[in-house]
Structure 1
């Protein structure tokens, strides 16, 4: 394919991605936030969650983590109180439809799955994540602000998006309880 054909395809794909992002990010006014702590209890970042008309948008800013690719998931219990034992109290993924874990799984993904993100060599990351299977108040998808609450949990490794139950993502290294703003 010649250069102009590649440019047209790239332009079309960028337009489709922008249109999808706009549809998801169309602000419905509902927002939430999460303050992340590490296993030693230190603050390591913030997330802002916005309700869109087709899911949620998470704006994530992290510092103080080991560099490399990381998995992040929505977990089904709104607690991060057990940081010294690895945030196990946050439970498993938000998954009211009992789907299999993984964006590449034929029987998935569950409502807590996100794409991986990268932590830079200085321990920081700034990323925007989209999830069309979850919502803050239940407008579409799995409801985050329910009786159990929910938490965003960052794992030490990337998610392979297939292996059960967490895609080989490893230990939980940071956690933030999602609270309505």
Structure 2
């Protein structure tokens, strides 16, 4: 009786197994999150950047503490840079802005904005940032013909020493780069 039950069970499972083998392979999932450690010029980690893909853009959350004394109690320009590399002392290894559209820099520029432009960030008196911004000019992965932050050479979020005036070229007078985060997939 036991062997007849096992044989019947095996026969019942056989078609299910055969059907599973005939199914098409699973398609890769779209990337919907990314992140990066925000470092400052002394190479210490100051915080974290997390990104989430939305239906029409990307939400970027920046949380940092301990930014340098001379960066406190003021606004700072922030941009998305075209190479995921923060290895150089001045963070210029992240190259220039993501800007395949060739538009002018600045959220307030009638000929802009470029794909990399973000609003200014406030660093408080303790050297902390808590901000969440949204952009419709990039994607995490290549979607809707928007430049992908997670392309072959990656990208970086860079915070500058001064405020971005959102109109002048090439970076709104925001000055030197003081913090950088390489954006990576989980």
TM-score normalised by structure 1 residue count: 0.81
| Residue 61 (structure 2) pairs with residue 56 (structure 1) | no
Aligned-partner Cα distance in 1 for 2:91–2:131? 22
Bigger strand share: 1
Instruction: Report if aligned partners of 2:105, 2:170 keep a CA contact under 8 Å in 1.
Output: yes
1:71 matched to which residue of 2?
A: 77
Quote the residue 1:6 is aligned against.
none
What count of residue pairs does the alignment treat as equivalent?
152
Q: Compare CA radii of gyration and give the structure with the larger one.
A: 2
Consecutive unaligned residues in structure 1, runs of 5 or more: 1-27
Identify the residue that residue 13 of structure 1 maps to in structure 2. Answer: none
Aligned counterpart, 2:107 = 103
Once the two structures are superposed, residues 10-39 of structure 1 have per-residue CA deviations (whole angstroms, 9 ceiling, x without a partner) of: xxxxxxxxxxxxxxxxxx861000101111
Q: CA RMSD in A?
A: 1.1
- Deviation, 1:53, is 0.7
| Separation in 2, partners of 1:162, 1:150 | 23
Equivalent-residue separation in structure 1 for 2:112 and 2:122 (angstroms): 23
Give the gaps of 5 or more residues in structure 2: 1-29
> SS at 1:101's partner residue?
coil
SS at match of 1:45: strand
